[in-house]
Amino acid sequence: MNRQEELLQQIRESLKNGDAQGILRDNVLLAEQFPTHANTLIAAKNIQSVMPILEKDYSQKQKVRIALLYSSTAEWIKEYLTAGLLSEKLFPQIYTAPYQQVEQEILNMESNFYHFDPEIIFFHLELSSVLPVDPAYEKSDIEKTVGKIHSLVHLIQRQTKSLIVIDNFPQPAYLPIRSPRDLKSNTLKEWFNELNGALADEFQSDNSVVICDLDSLAAFHGRERTTSPKLFYLAHIELSESFLPQVSKKYIGYIKALKGMGRKCIVVDLDNTLWGGVIGEDGMEGIRLSQNGDGREFFDFQKLLYNFTQRGILLAINSKNNPDDALKAIREHPSMFLKEDHFSSIKINWNNKVSNFMEIARELKIGLDAMAFLDDDPRERALVRQGLPQVLVPEMPKDPSEYGRLLSSLNDFEMIHFSDEDTKRTELYLEQREREQFKENFQSLEDFLWNLEIAVRISSVTEKDLPRIAQLMQRTNQFNMTTRRYTVNELKELLNSSHHLFTVQVKDRFGDSGTVGSAILEKQGRSYIIKAFLLSCRILGRGIEDHFMNHLYHAAKAEGADRLVGKLIFTEKNQPARDFYKKYGFTLLKQEGDQSEWVYAIDGNPPKPVAWINTGQHVRK
């Protein structure tokens, strides 16, 4: 009996015995280890039979409400999402619009769709649901299509605070040809490109909408394989059995980003990962790395890694090597695209890679679950998987030419919001490295902080700040009192209510750290409730949190409040935040499970600001 047959036998036993956890465990394994279309549908169906029983084992943070607004049949994508999200330890609650009733569901303000109140909506319209069966493919058709989508999305936004993910339009594998001129000039291909460009432009400034580039995903998968004519005409299933896993994986990437589960750092080995060969044996002249000839695959892989840094992803090195040899290659090899300053942390030594990982996490002040590891050596991958199961360690292809394909296929680096801070994130961590070196010049922490010339600006949030605040809430896990992930629409609603939203910006002698924190206060009678309080971990230990709390105290006092109430939700990740309220003299008001409330009397002594911080200024010149 092979492994698949064993799993199927275990599933039959679990179903017979009504073992909900066994049904979940074995069916998830079936879908992961033997990911055929039939196995995925079997797994999802079995799991859904015990979903009401399983629900109690998931916290509210692990649950995600998803709406599928598909003009075609959406049941199969629902099954793939169910199996995929449960394997990520997320509990999906999925609503699918009735068949060919998407527009009616949106127009009816009392529809089941609105009562479901989704967190995230996947909006997928076939072109034929907007345009006539035989469209003219004129510019007016582009305007009509984009206008239709805009009007429907606008209606959704009036009723929900959901993140809306809109699929763009894949070019058909076989474009209709109206004349030989079309074949020569590719006018229909250009029309589809223009349509998708217009769709992206329409929602470019709308931070509650994300465009899912289904067209590029279809091109990557193979346009001819993205649809099945038989399935389409038989059951109006638009996406083929082979394309469904790719689309589902893409969707799950957005969901993980929304739930704060994205990865922030890619840690790489050097030998046979960033270049071919072993630097200690082959020397700089003998390694395979070239812009045009032998070793070009490594050069291109480095370029791809660099592109990730431009999206705010950090790079780090974890390599067993002689540091002098490796650094010489990084600094001097003519085809080395990635240079020393592209890496936020560099660990090149003969230490165990697990211990190096711990050092990298400490240095960058990020969790191990925010890191991914790329190493050609299966033994090193196995050691890191065993020692640090929180780290993502994908199986590397044996052929280095496939490295880029593997990295591009991971859904752990999807982004919902993009800010100016993302483009300079590596620079911010390099500045932090300079601060640590500067710190060695002082015997006391106070002297060090005084000479940093820190300037803090705390101000009320405006609408233009909301995308960055939402991004902080999605990415900040450690110093985050509640880890509640607010969307831009939710923040906008709070901004227009009885809530006060604040943002923190920090600058010092080494550079501008940008917007690094936020807080949400709600007025309830004579109390001000701190519903959110978070700071980027890279600026902790500089007294910023002291000033922020002091500012909130005085803001509440100016509004006539007589107490501050701080909410705290314990998670696996926010250990640094757990004693924060206690540290400032808050007393425990109540505690239920992992949630607690702390109270501080306004008429008492306020938390004192730290003397070495220059408050009230934009920056220190």
250, 337: one domain: no
- 333 in the Ramachandran plot: left (φ > 0), alpha (ψ -120 to 50) or beta? beta
443 vs 522: CA distance, rounded Å: 42
Low-confidence ranges of the chain (pLDDT < 70): 1, 175-186, 420, 607-621
Tally the domains of the chain: 4
pTM, full prediction: 0.84
Relative to beta strand 314-320, strand 345-349 is parallel
495, 511: one domain: yes
81, 127: one domain: yes
- The residue out of 379, 409, 439 marking a domain boundary is 409
Report DSSP letters for 429-442, one per residue.
HHHHHHHHHHHTT-
Residue 610 pLDDT? 60
Question: In CATH, what number is assigned to the domain containing residue 350?
Answer: 3.40.50.1000
Residue 617 pLDDT? 40
Q: What is the 3-state secondary structure (H, E, C) of 322-345?
A: CHHHHHHHHHHCCCCCCCHHHCCE
Residue 449 falls within a domain, yes or no?
yes
- Domain range enclosing 532: 423-615
366, 460: one domain: no
Residue 418 falls within a domain, yes or no?
no
Residue 415 falls within a domain, yes or no?
no
609, 473: one domain: yes
Residue 181 pLDDT? 56
Residue 621 falls within a domain, yes or no?
no
- The residue out of 29, 57, 85 marking a domain boundary is 57
* pLDDT tens digits along 89-138: 999 999 999 999 999 999 999 999 999 999 999 999 999 899 887 788 88
296, 245: one domain: no
By CB neighbour count within 10 A (0-12 exposed, 13-18 middle, 19+ buried), where does 481 fall? buried
Residue 620 pLDDT? 37
CA distances from 297 to 300, 321, 401 (A): 5, 22, 5
Question: In CATH, what number is assigned to the domain containing residue 607?
Answer: 3.40.630.30
- The residue out of 258, 288, 312 marking a domain boundary is 258
580, 435: one domain: yes
Residue 580 pLDDT? 87
286 vs 283: CA distance, rounded Å: 5
388, 402: one domain: yes
| pLDDT above 90: percentage of residues in the chain | 62
- 499 in the Ramachandran plot: left (φ > 0), alpha (ψ -120 to 50) or beta? beta
Residue 621 pLDDT? 32
Q: Which two tokens stand for residue 473?
A: 């809430």
Which ranges in 203-310 belong to alpha helices (H)? 214-221, 229-235, 244-258, 279-286, 296-309
282, 134: one domain: no
Residue 603 falls within a domain, yes or no?
yes
Residue 620 falls within a domain, yes or no?
no
397, 489: one domain: no
39 vs 146: CA distance, rounded Å: 37
Torsion of CA 377, 380, 382, 385, to 10 degrees: -120
110, 126: one domain: yes
- Residue 262 — φ and ψ, nearest 5°? -75, 160
390, 495: one domain: no
